[in-house]
């Protein structure tokens, strides 16, 4: 899962980014509204954390432009303002949720997890596919109750496929959501990670859809 943090406070941006990375997310950063708007307009994100009080272009304007352009990714607003009118303006502009500063990073992480789950049609913090259970809160996965030992890339791959169960996901889409903007992306590596993940899972849940990509779904018998 790939997150964009648009926050002009360098220390707060670093704190949020480090916490998100420790939770298994890929993170890009922007430090003003214009840069944030550009990245959100041109890169695919699973969720965006957006500060309202930004230089160059304020967060409400950034959000309004995204929504006017048809961008539907979940957006969590950060605001230092206590006025209820600012929160209403953010929601009316298309925000999915908001957090007022100062806040605990754990609250932001919990809200981001919830936004991503809901956007993918999941209400529970645990996503289940046959014998595989993904614990989005603990950033871990199990098979028949046994913990899977996954690398960060394998976890990101499994997480994305499980959030989009039943859907065909292309290699390009996986690459875009597994690596940040500065990474030297190579779609051929996805096949390697899928192969490793299949071996570790030990059950046939990841289907190769020739010419299109991959699809993860539980077997017909549910086991």
129 pLDDT exceeds 90?
yes
Secondary structure of residue 195 in the 3-state scheme:
helix
Report the length, in residues, of the chain: 223
Q: Residue 30 in contact with residue 4, Cβ under 8 Å?
A: yes
Instruction: Kindly give the residue spans of alpha helices, DSSP state H, lying in 94-146.
Output: 105-119
Look at residue 183 in the predicted model and tell me its pLDDT: 63
Which of 9-13, 61-65, 188-192 bottoms out in mean pLDDT, i.e. has the lowest?
188-192
The Cα 121–Cα 31 span in angstroms is 31
pLDDT digits (tens, 9 = 90+) for 16-55: 999 999 998 999 999 999 999 999 999 999 999 999 999 9
% the chain with pLDDT above 90: 75
Q: Which residue has the higher pLDDT, 137 or 66?
A: 66
pLDDT at res. 80: 77
pLDDT digits (tens, 9 = 90+) for 181-198: 666 666 678 889 999 999
Where are the alpha helices (H) located in 83-140, listed in sequence order? Answer: 84-93, 105-119
Residue 223 has pLDDT above 60, yes or no: no
pTM of the entire structure?
A: 0.84
Binning pLDDT at 50, 70 and 90, where does residue 13 land? very high
Helix axes 171-178, 152-163, angle to 10 degrees: 120
pLDDT digits (tens, 9 = 90+) for 83-114: 778 888 899 999 999 999 889 999 999 999 99
In this predicted structure, the answer to whether residue 165 has a pLDDT above a threshold of 80 is yes
- CA-wise closest residue to 4 among 58, 55, 41, 54: 41
In this prediction, residue 182 carries a pLDDT of 63
At 184 the pLDDT is 60
């Amino acid at each position: 899962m790939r997150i964009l943090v648009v926050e002009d406070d360098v220390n707060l941006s670093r704190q949020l980014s480090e916490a998100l990375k420790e939770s298994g997310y890929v993170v890009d950063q922007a430090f003003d509204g214009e840069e944030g708007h550009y990245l959100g307009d041109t890169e695919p994100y699973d969720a965006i954390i957006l500060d309202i009080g930004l230089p160059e272009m304020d967060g409400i304007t950034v959000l309004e432009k995204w929504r006017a352009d048809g961008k539907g990714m979940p957006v969590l607003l950060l605001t230092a303002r206590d006025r209820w009118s600012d929160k209403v303006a953010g929601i009316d502009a298309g925000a999915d949720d908001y957090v007022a500063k100062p806040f605990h990073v754990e609250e932001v992480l919990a809200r981001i997890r919830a936004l991503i789950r809901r956007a993918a049609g999941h209400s529970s913090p645990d996503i289940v596919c046959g014998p595989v259970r993904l614990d989005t809160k603990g950033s871990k996965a199990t098979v028949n109750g046994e913990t899977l030992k996954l690398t960060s890339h394998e976890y990101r791959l499994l997480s994305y496929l499980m959030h989009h169960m039943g859907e065909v996901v292309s290699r390009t889409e996986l690459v875009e959501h597994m690596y940040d903007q500065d990474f030297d992306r190579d779609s051929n590596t996805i096949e390697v990670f899928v192969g490793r993940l299949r071996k570790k899972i030990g059950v046939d849940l990841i289907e190769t859809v020739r010419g299109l990509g991959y699809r993860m779904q539980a077997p017909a018998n549910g086991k």
